[in-house]
A and B are shown apart, each in its own frame.
Chain A
Amino acid sequence: MIVGLFISIPVFAIVIYLFAGTGEMWSHIVKNFLFDYIKNSLFLILGTGILCFLFGTSTAWIVCNYEFPFCKYIEWLLFLPLAIPSYIVAYAYVGMLGNGGSLMLFLQSLGFSIQKIEMMNIFGLIWVMSCSLYPYVYAGTRAMFKSFPKSIRESSQLLGVSNRRYFFSVALPLASPAIIGGLFLVFMEVLNDYGAAKYYGINTFTTGIFRTWTALEDLQSAIYLSAILVILVLAINGLVHWQRGKKSYALKLNKSQQNQKQRKKLKGFKKLGYLSVIAVPILFGFILPVAQLLYWAFLTYEKMLNAELFWIALQSFGVALTAAFFIIITALSLIYFSRWNHLNGFHFFKKISTIGYVLPGAIIGIGIIRSSQSIIDFFSNNFSLSIGYLFYGSSIVLIYAYVFRFLAVSFNPLEANSLKLGKNLSESSYLLGISKIKTLFKIELPLLKNTLISAFLLVFIDTLKELPLTLILKPYNLQTLAVKAYEYADDERVAEAALPALVLIFVIILLMIFLNFWDKESANLEE
């Protein structure tokens, strides 16, 4: 209960401080910015949602149903845009398509008279976000399409139903829970984004919260903006749960049937068309941005490849490792303490403490800053103790924020797998006179080893990429690769952002490969 309560502080802080009245700048914000924040955020969600749906479902459908050259590798390549944070894709696009951009120069050398393609507007941002976030839809939809029993497809065929009708009337509705789940993650990432929107000059809720707090120096109004954003997030969350609840279908899955799915061979124009559909997101979401970053890295490596970059990378990994360690410990504590003690009301705290994943980083940052300030004031007023340095001079607050933000990423799979293991093994151990702690270390944790490693890596990757929360809460003496790349781009030294960004991408890709390999090994072992 204490762990749950402690983790939930940022949410309660925002709720409590809402009653402290509006900030000085609130009327100015309402008059000049609020409509823009709402309009742009909703338009971004809608546009990115539509494109991610198109990219994610079309590519998932093609890789699950058709055979083409290198299909096994392409199936995997489609995940790679997830390795590049969207703000880095945003910088790369301006470098490619802006005035004198590398792609523009290339096109001009081929005789095209095009000078630039304007990306720094809301449509450009939608394109960038979609190219980097569609894998959230692709991943779930692909898994769903793969899980369909062969008989579903064959019975449609026997009933004389065309491929097109099968896709729209059967496959798409059946995959809708996965599609909606993926879109929800996309929406949350769009609302969480700070770097790309700020760089493209688009006023969204998240950039608004930052501006209100840093430029206008009005924390109370930032809390009000956060509260409106929380309402928007909760509304989307409610809508998604309602839709998924309505559309959760129990397919009679037959494992032996799933693996027998015959993929059709593609030929002629159809092959060309389908390969183009797959090539678009890979090309625009991964190959072109990475090529641009490599080009920049080539231009700047003499200046940038130095001990400082190495040191920043080390700090980044150190913070991510520490955060991942505490996140796993917190998740395990929540799962096992609650199981051992059968607490009433625990479910509520569990929900609240794992809500961080659906809350944009800026909100969590504001919630933590506000509650930290209250704690500092409390100790100062009552005990004449100055503890500010503990909050602002160390990484404690940042690690705590990561725990809150990413707890759900490890908690959900760990809880699901510990439930799957059941109570029998643990209870047998208790009956043999073994203590709960010893049972945890000797029986339960070894059985959860694979899930623990996967959850650890996922949290590590998320922490490594994180930007808005790190920007708000990092101590002055700490630098991360994500923040460094952002700072260079923000200073109009975008080419110099390439190396830290590439190091980040390279490490994430390595971890994704390892995760993929590990998951396959675990699945084989389970079988």
Chain B
Amino acid sequence: MKILEIENLSKSYDGKKFALKDCSFSLEAGNICAVVGESGSGKSTLLRLISGLERPNSGFIKIEGKTVSDDNQIIPPQERNTGFVFQDYALFPHLTVEQNIAFGLKNNKKERVRELLELIKMEGYENSYPSQLSGGQEQRVAIARTLALKPNLLLLDEPFSNLDSNLKTELRQEIRQIVKQIGMSMIFITHDLLDAIDISDEIIFLKEGEMLQHSSISEFSNNIQSEEVRNIISDLKSNANRILEMVN
């Protein structure tokens, strides 16, 4: 079953240059998909269009088979059953961890917060403020706050960019474990191929708003579909060789 279907999705902010152009792909339910590309390639725009924070110029988006955005209608973000974790986590600094997680909940707040704190292994931090947490802990709280509303599709904007490499490795696996445990789907943005390879099932390459390749993680290195993807791979990180060795 497809959790997400996108067809000919385009977005231009100024009416001249396209941030995203004719993007089409679908995501299997339960899969994790990494969107890889350089700055300005349209990664964030894609995520913002899926979540409903931006309106596309053309194309349609279906989530769980239901059209949430096309030429005639646009369903607001809060009704799409998606969760979004921002790059800066966007935790409310004046609220405690417990209040942050419960912010979008209407009932059973205590119980749900307890469950989520257990899931993210942060029991005992209920009364801490975001300023008292480490970067990794802040991110886990941001994910828990999003999971509180039980979304079926989780969207993460550069989730690992603010973390040091040890914490990154640990968190990547933790997030994968949480997503698989709950049985939801996830799309995340990264400019680090290692992040993509380590936890995702599918990978999308974007360049200057155009989708260059969408394939499963196991296939992509054997089936590089364009010279541009090959360039992205070699440009992306100084450890590209190490990554390719790992894959092969």
Contact = CB atoms under 8 A, between A and B. Distances in A.
B187 to A, nearest CB: 15
A161 interface: yes
A155 interface: yes
A154 to B, nearest CB: 6
Interface stretch (A246-254, A410-418, A488-496, A519-527): A246-254
Interface in A199-255: 247, 249-252, 254
A149 interface: yes
Contacts of B77: 154, 157-158
Interface in A363-405: none
Given A160-B104, A161-B103, A249-B131, A154 B92 contact: no
B92 A152 contact: yes
Interface string B62-105: 00000000000000111000111011111011100000000110
Size range of the interface on B? 20 to 34
Contacts of A334: none
A173 B129 CA distance: 14
Contact of A154 (B84, B93, B146): B84
B163 interface: no
Contacts, number: 59
A157 B94 CA distance: 18
Contacts of B103: 156, 159, 161, 169
Given A158-B78, A160-B149, A249 B86 contact: no
Interface string B154-189: 000000000000000000000000000000000000
B104 A159 contact: yes
A154 B78 contact: no
Interface string A139-151: 0000000000101
B84 A155 contact: yes
A161 B146 CA distance: 13
B124 to A, nearest CB: 22
A160 B84 CA distance: 12
B93 A251 contact: yes
A102 B146 CA distance: 60
Given A151-B88, A158-B83, A249-B131, A174 B93 contact: yes
Q: Which of A152, A154, A155, A251 counts the most B-chain CB atoms under 10 A from its CB?
A: A155
A314 interface: no
A170 B51 CA distance: 21
A174 B94 contact: yes
25 contacts: A149-B90, A151-B87, A151-B90, A152-B92, A154-B53, A154-B77, A154-B84, A154-B86, A155-B86, A155-B90, A157-B76, A157-B78, A158-B83, A158-B84, A159-B78, A159-B104, A159-B149, A161-B104, A247-B94, A249-B93, A249-B94, A249-B131, A252-B88, A252-B89, A254-B88
Interface of A: 149, 151-152, 154-161, 169-170, 173-174, 247, 249-252, 254
Given A158-B82, A158-B84, 7 more contacts: A154-B84, A158-B53, A159-B149, A160-B78, A161-B104, A174-B92, A250-B93
